[in-house]
């Protein structure tokens, strides 16, 4: 979690937050009413192709950029409300989990923070992390939105998970296209901007990664567990995800 | 793309300090969340509409009328199937609708519309710059406020660049009219790559420009426009706080305004 706060001392990272937020918000506003899934709450998110790319390339700046971009999308797309604050948290979490799980989700993790297009492990890691981070984001948003009485948890958690996972997986083509230019020519991958040789993997990192994964599994399958009410399981799942994220 | 919903009028809401409007919106959200009975929600929604009328901001609501209607309709249809009440009025196999869940659905639709109307009034009566200044005055760290205000300024720039790229690709034969969602997604990649690269190049230029002017994120700031809280601001906040206290007493003390007791 340390980099998510220390990045605010770095001018390039601050500018990256603004740029990521602006791109994400522009895409969200432009396609807000194109294909609505739950009007006013969620739609087919064309902007989803930026989720994993921003989280992976710009790390903490990407995570904050997604959070602010989503907030701006709500503000100027006409859907701002208390649920937007959970959207802020959920989108931040999605970006945060992408760059933290990349080096912590053993045995899929890699010690080197790199995207290798010819490595099968990179592809598998990308897909797994995209799905876990999308589900974590979906569960956190859906739990709060359900509590506010906006949309039921069981509907929204699945929609956001699927929506973000599909967008994120399609986003791999964008990552392939821009990775070399961002790292080689512009030097804007977050580990280079913040002079992080290799993101530190502390022993609690993999533990946090698997706690998040367990929380996600509970959140998605909670309506299949006999004797455990969905609202209890969903809050438990959200708590586990946040606990695991704090350990990363 | 114009991302500002601000409408330049001279109304009492326009003249309030941005902090009053932001804190007021939060208090109003809490008032909206205090009840789940459709009659109470309708009353609150009418009150918000009256505020929009007095601030001459009804045209901002009119712009988003379809979203508002969809919100009310969709929520009213969805919730009756996901909440349970004792008085069943219709059932079919595993689907059940009760009188209470139907009323709850209507209330939730009105609640969602009330949220949206509140935020629209805030945006229609407050400039983006005033909002950022208000956030700084409310102790939001300057680098965060700077990122937010820069992002607000960059959205139209990037949207304009995106429109140019779309026109360039369409003139080369890119089909954006396809009805198939999958093929629509597929056409986005050739659009997203140049948009992304041109935006990211901008990052280095902006960072260099800032650093050459001695920008340091941690240094203390002064503002050209210093918002000040006047008597009218405190009176507005006190009135809203009083309404919130009364609402909470009605809900928690007297159990009024509730159709589904276990829910917010």
Q: Is residue B58 part of a domain?
A: yes
Task: Judge contact between A139 and A237, C-beta under 8 A.
Answer: yes
How far, in Å, CA of A73 to CA of A34, rounded? Answer: 14
**Assigned CATH for A2-198:** 1.10.1760.20
Of the pLDDT bands very low, low, confident and very high (cuts 50, 70, 90), residue A81 is: confident
Of the pLDDT bands very low, low, confident and very high (cuts 50, 70, 90), residue A141 is: very high
Closest chain B residue to A177 measured between Cα atoms? B193
**Chain B residues close to A39, C-beta within 8 Å:** 67, 70-71, 73-74
B18/B110 same-domain check: yes
Q: Is residue B74 part of a domain?
A: yes
Q: Is residue B217 part of a domain?
A: no
Do A17 and B151 lie within an 8 Å CB cutoff? yes
Closest chain B residue to A48 measured between Cα atoms? B185
Task: Judge contact between A56 and A175, C-beta under 8 A.
Answer: yes
For B147, which of A18, A82, A178 is closest by C-beta distance? A18
DSSP per-residue string spanning chain A:
-HHHHHGGG-HHHHHHHHHHHHHHHHHHHHTTTTSEEETTTEE--GGGGGHHHHHHHHHHHHHHHHHHHHHHHHHHHT--SHHHHHHHHHHHHHHHHHHHHHHHSTTT--SS----TT-HHHHHHHHHHHHHHHHHHHHHHHHHHHHTTSS-HHHHHHHHHHHHHHHHHHTHHHHHHHHHIIIIIS--SHHHHTT-SS----THHHHHHHHHHHHHHHHHHGGGSTTS-HHHHHHHHHHHHHHHHHH-
Give residue-wise pLDDT tens across range A223-236.
Answer: 777 777 878 888 99
B37/B116 same-domain check: yes
B107/B44 same-domain check: yes
B122/B147 same-domain check: no
Task: Judge contact between A17 and A54, C-beta under 8 A.
Answer: no
How far, in Å, CA of A191 to CA of A18, rounded? Answer: 18
The whole-number pLDDT of residue B7 equals 84
Q: Which residues neighbour B18 within 8 Å (Cβ) at sequence distance 6 or greater?
A: B126, B130, B131, B133, B134, B227
B117/B95 same-domain check: yes
pTM assigned to the model: 0.84
Q: Is residue B259 part of a domain?
A: no
How far, in Å, CA of B146 to CA of A18, rounded? Answer: 8
Q: Is B108 on the interface with A (CB under 8 A)?
A: yes
Q: Is residue B21 part of a domain?
A: yes
**Chain A residues close to B150, C-beta within 8 Å:** 15, 18, 22
The continuous run of DSSP H or E covering B88 comes out as: strand B88-92
- If we measure between CA atoms, which residue out of A85, A65, A63 comes closest to residue A74? A85
Do A178 and B120 lie within an 8 Å CB cutoff? no
Give residue-wise pLDDT tens across range A49-80.
Answer: 899 999 999 999 999 999 999 988 888 776 77
The continuous run of DSSP H or E covering B243 comes out as: helix B231-248
- Phi-psi bin for B216: left (phi > 0), alpha (psi -120 to 50), beta? beta
Closest chain B residue to A175 measured between Cα atoms? B193
Cis peptide before A107 (omega within 30 of 0): yes
B181/B246 same-domain check: no
The whole-number pLDDT of residue A138 equals 92
Q: Is residue B264 part of a domain?
A: no
- If we measure between CA atoms, which residue out of B119, B58, B240 comes closest to residue A71? B119
How far, in Å, CA of B220 to CA of A152, rounded? Answer: 45
- If we measure between CA atoms, which residue out of B160, B157, B162, B128 comes closest to residue B145? B128
Phi, psi at residue B225, to the nearest 5°? -105, 115
**Chain A residues close to B154, C-beta within 8 Å:** 18-19, 22
**Chain A residues close to B197, C-beta within 8 Å:** 178, 181
B24/B104 same-domain check: yes
Q: Is B229 on the interface with A (CB under 8 A)?
A: no
The whole-number pLDDT of residue B140 equals 87
Q: Is B112 on the interface with A (CB under 8 A)?
A: yes
- 3-class DSSP state of B117: helix
The whole-number pLDDT of residue A39 equals 59
Closest chain B residue to A46 measured between Cα atoms? B185
Mutation pick from B155, B208, B215 vs chain A, by most beta carbons of A within 10 Å, is B155
B103/B22 same-domain check: yes
Phi, psi at residue A25, to the nearest 5°? -65, -40
Q: Is B181 on the interface with A (CB under 8 A)?
A: yes
For A81, which of B115, B154, B192 is closest by C-beta distance? B115
Domain of residue B54, residue span? 12-126+230-253
Place of tokens 């276990």: B262
- If we measure between CA atoms, which residue out of A152, A154, A103, A101 comes closest to residue A128? A101
Q: What residues are paired with B8 via a beta bridge?
A: none
- Percentage of chain A modeled with pLDDT above 90: 35
B178/B49 same-domain check: no
The whole-number pLDDT of residue B181 equals 64
- 3-class DSSP state of B259: coil
Do A29 and B218 lie within an 8 Å CB cutoff? no
How far, in Å, CA of A40 to CA of A200, rounded? Answer: 40
- If we measure between CA atoms, which residue out of A143, A166, A164 comes closest to residue A155? A143
Report chain A's mean pLDDT, rounded to a whole number: 86
Closest chain A residue to B202 measured between Cα atoms? A19
- If we measure between CA atoms, which residue out of A61, A218, A38 comes closest to residue A136? A218
Task: Judge contact between A212 and A248, C-beta under 8 A.
Answer: yes
Torsion B23-B24-B28-B29 (CA) sign: negative
Place of tokens 């945060």: A96
**Chain B residues close to A155, C-beta within 8 Å:** 78, 82
Task: Judge contact between A220 and A135, C-beta under 8 A.
Answer: yes
How far, in Å, CA of B19 to CA of A8, rounded? Answer: 24
Distances in Å between the alpha carbon of A208 and those of A205, A214, B12? 5, 10, 51
B184-188: long-range pairs with CB below 8 Å, 24+: B185/A46, B185/A49, B185/A170, B188/A46, B188/A49, B188/A170
B120/B149 same-domain check: no
Do B112 and A64 lie within an 8 Å CB cutoff? no
Number of domains in chain B: 2
**Chain A residues close to B5, C-beta within 8 Å:** 76
The whole-number pLDDT of residue A201 equals 64
How far, in Å, CA of B115 to CA of B54, rounded? Answer: 18
Q: Is A117 on the interface with B (CB under 8 A)?
A: no
- The mean pLDDT values, 10 residues at a time, for chain B of 264 residues are 75 91 92 90 93 87 81 80 77 79 87 87 87 86 89 83 80 72 68 84 87 83 81 94 94 85 74
The whole-number pLDDT of residue B228 equals 84
Give residue-wise pLDDT tens across range A180-202.
Answer: 888 888 888 898 888 887 666 67
Q: Is B246 on the interface with A (CB under 8 A)?
A: no
């Amino acid at each position: 979690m340390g980099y998510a706060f220390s990045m605010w001392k770095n001018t390039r990272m601050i500018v990256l937050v603004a740029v990521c937020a602006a791109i994400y918000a522009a895409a969200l506003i432009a396609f807000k009413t194109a294909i609505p899934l739950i009007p006013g709450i969620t739609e087919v998110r064309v902007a989803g192709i930026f989720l994993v790319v921003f989280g992976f390339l710009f790390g903490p700046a990407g995570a904050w950029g997604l959070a602010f971009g989503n907030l701006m999308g709500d503000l100027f797309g006409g859907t701002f409300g208390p649920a937007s604050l959970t959207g802020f948290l959920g989108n931040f979490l999605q970006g945060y989990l992408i760059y933290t799980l990349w080096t912590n989700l053993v045995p899929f993790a890699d010690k080197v923070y790199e995207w290798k297009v010819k490595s099968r492990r990179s592809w598998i890691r990308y897909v797994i992390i995209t799905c876990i981070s999308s589900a974590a984001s979906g569960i956190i948003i859906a739990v709060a939105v359900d509590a506010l009485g906006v949309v039921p948890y069981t509907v929204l958690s699945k929609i956001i998970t699927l929506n973000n996972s599909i967008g994120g997986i399609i986003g791999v083509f964008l990552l392939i296209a821009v990775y070399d230019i961002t790292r080689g020519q512009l030097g804007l991958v977050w580990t280079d901007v913040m002079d992080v040789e290799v993101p530190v993997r502390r022993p609690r990192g993999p533990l946090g990664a698997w706690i998040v994964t367990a929380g996600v599994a509970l959140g998605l399958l909670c309506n299949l567990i006999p004797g455990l009410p969905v609202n209890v399981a969903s809050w438990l799942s959200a708590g586990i995800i946040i606990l695991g994220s704090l350990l990363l | 793309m114009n991302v500002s919903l601000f409408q330049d009028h001279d109304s009492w809401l326009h003249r309030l300090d941005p902090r009053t409007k932001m804190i007021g919106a939060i208090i109003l959200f809490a008032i909206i969340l205090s009840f789940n009975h459709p009659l109470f929600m309708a009353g609150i929604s009418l009150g918000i509409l009256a505020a929009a009328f007095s601030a001459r901001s009804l045209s901002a609501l009119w712009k988003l009328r379809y979203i508002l209607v969809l919100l009310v309709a969709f929520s009213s249809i969805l919730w009756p199937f996901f909440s349970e009440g004792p008085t069943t009025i219709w059932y079919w196999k595993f689907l059940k609708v009760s009188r209470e869940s139907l009323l709850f659905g209507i209330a939730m639709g009105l609640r969602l519309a009330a949220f949206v109307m509140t935020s629209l009034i805030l945006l229609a009566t407050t400039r983006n710059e005033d909002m950022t200044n208000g956030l700084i005055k409310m102790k939001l760290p300057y680098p965060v406020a700077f990122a937010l205000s820069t992002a607000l300024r960059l959205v139209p720039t990037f949207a304009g660049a995106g429109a140019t790229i779309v026109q360039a690709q369409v003139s080369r034969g890119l089909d954006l009219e396809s009805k198939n969602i999958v093929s629509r997604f597929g056409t986005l990649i050739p659009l997203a790559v140049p948009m992304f690269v041109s935006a990211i190049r901008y990052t280095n230029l902006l960072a260099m420009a800032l650093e050459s002017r001695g920008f340091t994120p941690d240094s203390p700031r002064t503002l050209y426009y210093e918002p000040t809280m006047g008597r009218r601001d405190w009176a507005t906040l006190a009135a809203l706080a009083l309404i919130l206290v009364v609402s909470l007493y009605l809900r928690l003390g007297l159990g009024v305004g509730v159709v589904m007791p276990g829910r917010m």
